[in-house]
Amino acid sequence: MAATATLSKDVIDLFEKKVALLTEQIESLTAALEKSESQKTDLRIKVINLEQELERSRPKQAGLDDTAKKFVQALFKSGSYLDFEYVASMFGVPKGMAAYYRDILAKAGMIRGTGVVMDDALGSYELTSRGREFAVANGLT
């Protein structure tokens, strides 16, 4: 009988130790979960801020008139670079206006020069990733 009582007490002690260890693990996991939830919330806030920043940096469709869009479309369809003066002559746009549209598109980050501009030439330009994105988003393909 005494052996049985001692065995029962040993079993109870083992269970108590096991419960204590499991309780520690639960507390540790709960703390880790709370930290993860906090990080998840912080990341969601960062995603929202980045989405807003991206939206602000996108060129606005209303900012480009039909002629500027034609320049974007011509560059997109070429798949490469084009001489801006040549494109302007295709559309019957005077050189001064072509320079204006070149400046507008360059300022919007939609085009970039592809070489050295000589004399009073307008130069060759290609679309940037922003310009291609604009072309696709606005059906200029």
According to CATH, the topology of domain 61-137 is Arc Repressor Mutant, subunit A (1.10.10)
- Residue 8 confidence (pLDDT): 83
Domain residue limits, the chain: 1-57, 61-137
Of the pLDDT bands very low, low, confident and very high (cuts 50, 70, 90), residue 133 is: very high
pLDDT over threshold 70, residue 132 = yes
State which H helix or E strand residue 126 sits in.
strand 124-127
- Residue 55 confidence (pLDDT): 76
